[in-house]
Amino acid sequence: MALTLHGTVADNTAVLSRPSAKPLIINGDMAVAQRVTTTGITSGGFYSIDRMKVDLNDGGTWTQTQDADVPTGQGFANSWKLDCTTADSSVAAGTYHVARYLFEGQDLQLLKKGTSSAEKVTVSFWIKATVTGTYIAELYDVDNDRQISQAYTVSSANTWEKKVLSFVADTTGALGDDTGSSFAINLWLSAGSNFTSGTLNTTWAGQNQVNRVVGQVNSASSTSNNVYFTGLQMEVGSFDANSIAPFQHESFGDNLSRCQRYYQRILEKNSAYFCVGWNYTTGIAIGKLDLVVTMRTTPTLICATVTNGYTFYRAGAGDHVDSLFLSDASETNLAIANNSQISGTAGHGGGWYSSSTDSQLDCTAEL
């Protein structure tokens, strides 16, 4: 997919092209948020914005939301907001707080990593942060435990700033051509001395913890602190603020579909019937549900436990149950069941129904 060169470069010889028709980063505009708002975050996981993960140890307590605060005139409508609700002003040695994006290895074969033809990489994003000073962006090769770091500066408090960071190529360590987690962009927010006491590693090397995040500010120093991100993109090649391609926007539908490879909300609140089923035996009811898109791997079911939150209707009657579990699953469909609160007759057909505003079912196959 050829793209017109945006802006200028010093020698006027650059030819810009994106080897993939789709942006390498899914949901970099923070438009899809199937999980919406999460409060009381004290550990790592996926919260709020699809495909955006945090790793967190110590580093305070946080709330994550999808927010409408965005840089003016850039075509973005949403940002990822991280709001400190309990401060950690004294950073312990093992503290870390990292905003992460993870890639499947098969999606980054175009980097030619681990070969003599390995490509440079440029990462760009918009950030708005309360705490000014030095922040660290890191590329991490999960498959080969290799990393490279780069410092950047947040100059003005609570002001949107665009960062464009170019990283050298790595001729060591190929990425696995598979569905596993192979590569990460790590945007650090806080770090203890276990990660900051060495010399910042600005070339690709085997991981040495003390050299990863030297100089990083503490974003958890006050409950007044917020950090926002939007417009996260990665391009193959070396670019600066003038030459990097404009952010490649996708339709919401395409964006959502790509996110659902990793996470699908099957049932939210009181959504009426959500799948057909049958009495497998007198005490077991099963329902079959086809997934919206093929997931990365066989997913895990996350079911909100709600008293009488789910009902299996069959033969003019209903069994009210508190939770459901997976009896079988693949990347394309699920068999959900309850075997503790079911009556009925073996072989009778029926359907699963949401009977509470608190009922919720999710499938996750996150990296």
pLDDT at 5: 39
pLDDT at 268: 83
pLDDT at 21: 76
Closest CA to 90 of 190, 187, 196: 190
Domains and CATH numbers, the chain: 38-259 (2.60.120.260), 263-364 (no CATH)
Residue 102 CA to residue 55 CA, distance in Å, equals: 12
pLDDT at 221: 98
pLDDT at 273: 87
Closest CA to 120 of 154, 150, 152, 162: 150
pLDDT at 36: 87
pLDDT at 252: 97
**Token representation of residue 231:** 């417009």
144 with 205: CB under 8 angstroms? Answer: no
Residue 145 CA to residue 366 CA, distance in Å, equals: 20
For 36, the 3-state DSSP assignment is coil
- Amino acid identity for residue 267 in this structure: L
* Strand ordering across the sheet containing 360-364: 263-268, 360-364, 300-303
Residue 20 CA to residue 106 CA, distance in Å, equals: 13
Element (H, E) at 194: helix 193-196
Residuewise pLDDT in 10s, the chain (367 residues): 334 333 334 443 344 455 557 999 999 999 999 998 999 999 999 999 999 999 999 999 999 999 999 999 999 999 999 999 999 999 999 999 999 999 999 999 999 999 999 999 999 999 999 999 999 999 999 999 999 999 999 999 999 999 999 999 999 999 999 999 999 999 999 999 999 999 999 999 999 999 999 999 999 999 999 999 999 999 999 999 999 999 999 999 999 999 999 999 999 877 788 999 999 999 999 999 999 999 999 999 999 999 999 999 988 889 999 999 999 999 999 999 999 999 989 999 999 999 999 999 999 999 9
Closest CA to 27 of 188, 291, 234: 234
